[in-house]
Amino acid sequence: MRQDHLISAAHLSREDIEAVLDRAAEIDDDTAAFRQRHAGKVLGLCFFEPSTRTRMSFDTAMKRLGGQTVDMGPVESSSVKKGETLADTVRVVEGYADALVLRHPSEGAATMAAEFVDVPLVNAGDGAGQHPSQTLLDLYTIRENAGLDDLTIGIMGDLKYGRTVHSLAEALTNFDASQHFISPESLRLPRNVRYDLHASGAQVKEHTELDEVLPELDVLYVTRIQRERFPDENEYRKVAGQYQIDAETLKAASDDLTVMHPLPRVDEISPDIDDTDHATYFEQAHNGIPVRMALLDILLSQADD
Amino acid sequence: MRQDHLISAAHLSREDIEAVLDRAAEIDDDTAAFRQRHAGKVLGLCFFEPSTRTRMSFDTAMKRLGGQTVDMGPVESSSVKKGETLADTVRVVEGYADALVLRHPSEGAATMAAEFVDVPLVNAGDGAGQHPSQTLLDLYTIRENAGLDDLTIGIMGDLKYGRTVHSLAEALTNFDASQHFISPESLRLPRNVRYDLHASGAQVKEHTELDEVLPELDVLYVTRIQRERFPDENEYRKVAGQYQIDAETLKAASDDLTVMHPLPRVDEISPDIDDTDHATYFEQAHNGIPVRMALLDILLSQADD
Amino acid sequence: MRQDHLISAAHLSREDIEAVLDRAAEIDDDTAAFRQRHAGKVLGLCFFEPSTRTRMSFDTAMKRLGGQTVDMGPVESSSVKKGETLADTVRVVEGYADALVLRHPSEGAATMAAEFVDVPLVNAGDGAGQHPSQTLLDLYTIRENAGLDDLTIGIMGDLKYGRTVHSLAEALTNFDASQHFISPESLRLPRNVRYDLHASGAQVKEHTELDEVLPELDVLYVTRIQRERFPDENEYRKVAGQYQIDAETLKAASDDLTVMHPLPRVDEISPDIDDTDHATYFEQAHNGIPVRMALLDILLSQADD
């Protein structure tokens, strides 16, 4: 990659993305070959807000490369509570580790932190900002299941607040995908994201009904609609119900439709889809390992040079 | 073992138990030989309720086999809080790990979870249900100190609520032990456990006084009587005091008596016993390592085949 | 070292200290040579009160030696909550680990715990008591930057409550340093520490103003003055402000002045010092790794013999 850190998917060129996905595919083919690749190295995990999935996934990825991790632990019991700045914290932890993974509740935290450290830093989520390793594993899953060329993808649910969705949509502009956005009116893509997509020449359409577009999709990416976005419980129920899918819904879809979800799900995807060939969300979660292994491998190898 | 998972001690035949204990003895004899046995493998620790002892013991066991662990962390900061089902959680974590250890507050959770995963799953406690690796380390400790043949064992304390005790009692029916149960009337073995023991032809006697049976015991297994089982503090004190032992108590016992306790203890066993040859409870806790190493070694090796 | 455990810096002779610092320097020169030194060994981390910095630093150090760690986790979810004594806890955990690191809120806890275990135990802080590995990394940082011979050091800030300071001051009596203590009247060194320093023949002077002594210092060791030591917010502000330094302050200092701080800092040291050659506090924090590696290496190697 051209950069030493991974802060935003928006910084990744098509070549960068393909370098990570190709390495992930190599790892998937022959994990054993990477088992001692970074033996003796240590990855620092700095999570300033709770995370199970992402933290475990980076932790596992580093260990599958033969490395070790050290975890800052919950912020309540950390030096942060004594008034330490983020800049000081990362400068200390950098002395322990060969690379850092940072999650922080404030947008822009990773950009700022990266200015203070010399080891590679991966942004694992900064508030409403970026979460680029999620985007990479989404792209990997799409490439493995439907291909990134001539792709027709539907992205459904909460398109207003979901950083996962914004980041994926922008990354897909590198690949000439047809993107369909399906959501209630109140949870449409934010204006600035729509603007950026149009500016980059992406083929974008917006819908309020899934059935308008379902039959032509290669991939349906579902996200959760959060109750707390609605002032009223009845309103929530009415809206949310329209964006839930089950085996019956998918009868109108192509046999090859790939259904994805960043997980955890609540009731957006009925369990009766789990055993169908459409269900790709667990595979998607599992792809976090080879993709994060690939990312760490590339950043750590670059830092060695 | 005949099964891929370890859910309940009740599923273990005498042959299964002996296979684990024999492997544990091999490990105790030559730990170094196992030091790289599962290098490159990862054990997922999913503790849905707090545990120090059991979690540390599995963590250590995996590392002593050359493997690594990844920990889900406290449930308060996990995806479970967002409404994820246990089935979804274990299906995600299975993608990170070569085997899973699960503790959960609901009885039956491990049985259910095992239906959703392909990697070996070990039940590390499911509510009032089973905790089979504790039973295996208890059996190992008995075998090493008193032998499992022609054993006369006393099990004392809270026999009503203690899952450790029920599981051990049932496992001992594989070995023709004489079992004496010593407890206050209100904390007797539950009817269903007594029924199962009788049905399996076990030699079982119940007592309210330790001195009725102490001289003939090879092993005395003490458990804690919890204050919260009694409506009244005075009642608790009166009862609990009768089931506490000290060096004076043990004057009536055989010189070879082995005293066990699953720990932590509060005041059931006086510290003046700690330096006597009777005290076997710390050794028992330490046996968690070779026994859990043996268990993981067997399950991981089976899964490789 | 002459002892099996490390409980207090006061137990360390000049020879002991130099043995650790020399080993740390070896490690700094050629970390790779130590990368598998303690492969297969496990360090038990028992933190009875929260710690980020010290815990991560020991965790990293053990892993940089090829070893593994197991962590007791937060005390709220441990057996301690069930009423287990410290003696019982360490006797159980000793069975899992080749060495233990203990932090505990009660002064004297480490001394007591060491009586119950056979594996090496390192005191990582016992209340207002000792934190000897901090002292060793402070000494290492001084030796690398200013030398321990003919040293003139100023120690500034909260000298009354800071255990770090007391321990460092006492350790420096092994090296004929000139020690200047700079603090408000209300936060002077405690009488007993002054007494011990004088009794050991140390050259000690006390000041209330930094500028009295700044020009002659080789090292300035700054500590935080905590708001909660003062009954009144205004009083705190007035006092604390006098013991904060910035680039302007340091114009009166030698070009070679080494500025240290145990971190975290709040506003005792202005960020405008960070980019000067004086700033040595991040290097000091990073020195925790080679120094703790050296300490663990020596204790684990002794235990092998």
C contact test, residue of B37, B51, B56 with most C CBs within 10 A: B56
Task: Check whether A103 is labelled as a binding-site residue.
Answer: yes
Closest CA relative to residue A275, chosen from B99, B116, B110, B94: B116
A2, A52, A81, A82: which one is catalytic? A82
Distances (CA, A) of A130 to A16, A72, A143, A161, B8: 17, 21, 21, 12, 45
Q: Is the pLDDT of residue B2 over 80?
A: no
Contacts of A58 (CB under 8 A, 6+ apart): A43, A45, A69, A101, A122, A124, A133, A292, A296
> Which range is least confidently modeled, B74-78, B113-117, C229-233?
B74-78
pLDDT of residue C78: 67
∠ Cα C128 C181 C267 (to 5°): 75
Cβ atoms of C21 and C147 closer than 8 Å: no
**Cα–Cα distance measured from residue C131 to residue C287, given in angstroms and rounded to the nearest whole number:** 15
- Compute the nearest-CA separation of C243 from chain A (Å): 18
* pLDDT averaged over every residue in chain A: 93
Contact status of B264 with chain C (Cβ, < 8 Å) = yes
Distance CA C261, CA C279 (A): 9
Q: Is C73 on the interface with B (CB under 8 A)?
A: yes
Tokens of B31: 């730990």
Residue count of chain A: 305
The 8 Å CB, 24+ separation contacts for C94-97 are C94/C44, C94/C118, C94/C119, C95/B282, C95/B283, C95/B285, C95/B286, C95/B288, C95/B289, C96/B56, C96/B57, C96/B60, C96/B286, C96/B288, C96/B289, C96/C42, C96/C44, C96/C70, C97/B60, C97/C42, C97/C43, C97/C44, C97/C70
User: In this complex, is the C-beta atom of B32 within 8 Å of any C-beta atom belonging to chain C?
Assistant: yes
Q: Where are any strands of DSSP class E within chain C?
A: 42-47, 68-71, 99-104, 121-126, 152-156, 178-182, 203-207, 219-222, 258-260
The DSSP letter of residue C31 is G
From first to last of the 305 residues of chain C, give the pLDDT tens digit: 778 999 998 889 999 999 999 999 999 999 999 999 999 999 999 999 988 889 999 999 999 999 999 999 888 766 667 788 999 999 999 999 999 999 999 999 999 999 999 999 999 999 877 899 999 999 999 999 999 999 999 999 999 988 889 999 999 999 989 999 999 998 999 999 999 999 999 999 999 999 999 999 999 999 998 877 787 888 888 888 889 999 999 999 999 999 999 999 988 999 999 999 999 999 999 999 999 999 999 999 999 88
Amino acid at C290: P
Query: In this structure, what are the phi and psi dihedrals at residue B56, rounded to the nearest 5 degrees?
Result: -60, -35
Looking at the partner chain, which of A35, A55, A285 has a beta carbon nearest the beta carbon of B92?
A: A285
Computed over its alpha carbons, how large is the radius of gyration of chain B?
20
Handedness of CA A245, A251, A253, A254 (dihedral sign): positive
Catalytic position from the list C52, C81, C82, C251: C82
The fold of the B9-130+288-304 domain, in CATH, is Rossmann fold (3.40.50)
Q: Which residue among the candidates C54, C141, C173, C223 is catalytic per the annotation?
A: C54
pLDDT of residue C145: 98
Classify residue C88 by burial, with Cβ atoms within 10 Å: 0-12, 13-18, 19+: buried
State whether A95 and C264 contact (CB < 8 Å): no
Catalytic member of A5, A23, A41, A103: A103
Q: Given CB atoms, is C264 within the 8 Å cutoff of chain A?
A: yes
Q: What is the mean pLDDT of residues B211-238?
A: 89
Best residue in B47, B52, B286 for a mutation probing chain C (most C CBs within 10 Å): B52
Angle separating helix axes C191-199 and C163-172, nearest 10 degrees? 10
C46-57 CB burial, b ≥16 within 10 A, e <16? bbbebbbbbbbb
Burial (CB count <10 Å: 0-12, 13-18, 19+), residue B241: exposed
Cβ of B78 within 8 Å of Cβ of A32? The answer is no
Instruction: Say which residues have a Cβ less than 8 Å from residue C167's Cβ, sequence separation at least 6.
Output: C8, C9, C10, C130, C131, C132, C134, C135
In single-letter form, the type of residue at position B166 comes to H
A14 interfaces chain B, CB cutoff of 8 Å: no
Could you give phi then psi for residue B124, rounded to 5 degrees? -105, 30
Amino acid at B28: D
Is residue A219 within 8 Å of residue A153, measured between CB atoms?
yes
**Are the C-beta atoms of residues A196 and A219 closer than 8 Å to each other?**
no
Greater model confidence, B139 or B233? B139
**Which single residue is written with the structure tokens 């040293």?**
C151
Please check if A208 is assigned to a binding site.
no
Tokens 């390992």 locate to: A289
| Cβ contacts of B236 within 8 Å, gap of 6 or more | B225, B227, B229, B230
Residue pair B297/B22 in contact by the 8 Å Cβ criterion: no
- pLDDT of B71 > 80? The answer is yes
Do A96 and C35 lie within an 8 Å CB cutoff?
Answer: no
Q: Which of 3.40.50.1370, 1.10.3720.10, 3.30.460.80, 3.40.50.920 is the CATH number of C133-285?
A: 3.40.50.1370
| 8 Å CB contact of A78 and C52 | yes
Residue of B38, B68, B100 to mutate for A, most A C-beta atoms under 10 A: B68
A51 contacts chain B (CB < 8 A)? yes
Catalytic residue status for B292: no
Q: Touching B: which chains, 3+ CB pairs < 8 A?
A: A, C
Q: Is residue A32 classed exposed, middle or buried when 0-12, 13-18 and 19+ CB atoms within 10 A define those classes?
A: exposed
Q: Does domain C9-131+287-304 have CATH number 3.30.470.10?
A: no
From chain B, the residues in CB contact with C92 under 8 A are 53, 263, 282, 285-286
Could you give the CA distance from residue B125 to residue B47 in angstroms, rounded to a whole number?
9
User: How high is the pLDDT of residue B23?
Assistant: 98
- Mean pLDDT over residues A139-154, rounded? 97
Residue type for C82, please?
A: K
Query: How many alpha carbons fall within 13 Å on the CB side of residue A14?
Result: 7
- Does A131 qualify as catalytic in the annotation? yes
Question: What pLDDT does residue A78 have?
Answer: 66
**Do the domains at A9-130+288-304 and A133-285 have one common CATH topology?**
yes
Instruction: Give yes or no for residue A14 having a pLDDT over 90.
Output: yes
Q: For the stretch B102-120, what's the b/e string if a residue is b when 16 or more beta carbons lie within 10 angstroms of its beta carbon?
A: bbbeeeebbbbbbebbebb
- Beta-bridged to residue A75, according to DSSP, are none
Q: What span, in angstroms and rounded, lies between the C-alpha atoms of C105 and C128? A: 8
ipTM over 0.85: yes
Enumerate residues 6+ apart whose C-beta is below 8 A from B29: none
Q: B117 with B90: CB under 8 angstroms?
A: yes
For chain C, which residues make up each domain, given as ranges?
A: 9-131+287-304, 133-285
**Contact between A73 and C63 using a beta-carbon 8 Å cutoff:** no
For residue C67, the chain B residue with the least C-alpha distance is: B63
Write down the catalytic residue from C5, C38, C64, C103.
C103
Q: Scanning every residue of chain B, which has its alpha carbon at the shortest distance from the alpha carbon of A70?
A: B70
In chain A, residues with a C-beta closer than 8 Å to the C-beta of C57 are: 96
Q: Which of A121, A119, A115, A82 is nearest to A103 (CA)?
A: A121
- What is residue B221's predicted lDDT score, i.e. its pLDDT? 98
- C-chain CB neighbours of B285 within 8 Å are 92, 95
Q: Tell me, yes or no, if B51 comes closer than 8 A to chain C by beta carbon.
A: yes
Residue A87 near residue A116, CB atoms below 8 Å = yes
B143 annotated active-site: no
B96 vs A contacts (CB less than 8 Å): 56-57, 60, 286, 289
Kindly list the strands in the beta sheet with B178-182, ordered across the sheet, starting from the edge strand earlier in the chain. Answer: B203-207, B178-182, B152-156, B219-222, B258-260
Tokens 């090859």 locate to A256
CB A41, CB A98: distance < 8 Å? yes
What residues are paired with A204 via a beta bridge? A179
* Cβ within 8 Å of residue C251, ≥6 positions away: none
Question: Strand C121-126 vs strand C99-104: parallel, antiparallel, or unpaired?
Answer: parallel
Question: Which tokens hold the place of C278?
Answer: 């004086």
Q: What is the average pLDDT across B45-64?
A: 94
Concerning whether B55 is annotated as a catalytic residue, the answer is: no
Task: Write out pLDDT tens, residues B16-49.
Answer: 999 999 999 999 999 999 999 999 999 999 999 9
- Of the candidate ranges A71-75, B184-188, C182-186, the one whose mean pLDDT is the lowest: A71-75
For residues A171 and A169, give the distance between their C-alpha atoms in angstroms, rounded to a whole number. 6
**Shortest Cα distance, chain C CAs vs residue A69, angstroms:** 8
Quick check: B77 pLDDT over 70?
Answer: no
Residue A93 sits at the chain C interface (C-beta within 8 Å): yes
Return the residue of C nearest to A87 by Cα: C271
Contact status, residue C137 vs residue C143, Cβ threshold 8 Å: no
Q: Which residues of B are annotated as a binding site for carbamoyl phosphate?
A: 53-54, 103, 131, 134, 263-264
State both tokens at C56: 């991560």
pLDDT digits (tens, 9 = 90+) for B194-207: 999 999 999 999 99
Q: Which of A72, A87, A88 sits opposite C56 (nearest CB)?
A: A72
| CA A139/CA C201 separation, integer angstroms | 69
Question: Nearest 5°: phi and psi at C101?
Answer: -115, 130
CA distance A154 to chain B (A): 23
Close Cβ partners of C85 (under 8 Å, ≥ 6 residues apart): none
At residue A11 the predicted structure's pLDDT band, cuts being 50, 70 and 90, is confident
Q: How far does the CA of residue A300 sit from the closest CA of chain C (Å)?
A: 16
Specify whether C38 is catalytic.
no
- Compute the nearest-CA separation of A263 from chain B (Å): 8
In this complex, is the C-beta atom of A32 within 8 Å of any C-beta atom belonging to chain B? yes
Contact A88 C265 (CB under 8 A): yes
Predicted local distance difference test score (pLDDT) of residue A1: 76
Q: What is the pLDDT of residue C148?
A: 96
Q: Which whole-number Å values give the CA distances from C258 to C138, C157, C163, in the listed order?
A: 12, 16, 21
**Residue among A39, A71, A95 whose CB faces C285 most closely:** A95
Cis peptide bond upstream of A264, omega within 30: yes
B64 interfaces chain C, CB cutoff of 8 Å? yes
Q: Does B37 touch chain C (CB under 8 A)?
A: no
- Smallest CA-to-CA distance from A159 within A278, A282, A243 is with A243
**Using CB atoms, which residue from A60, A264, A283 is nearest to B79?**
A264
pLDDT (0 to 100) of residue B78? 66
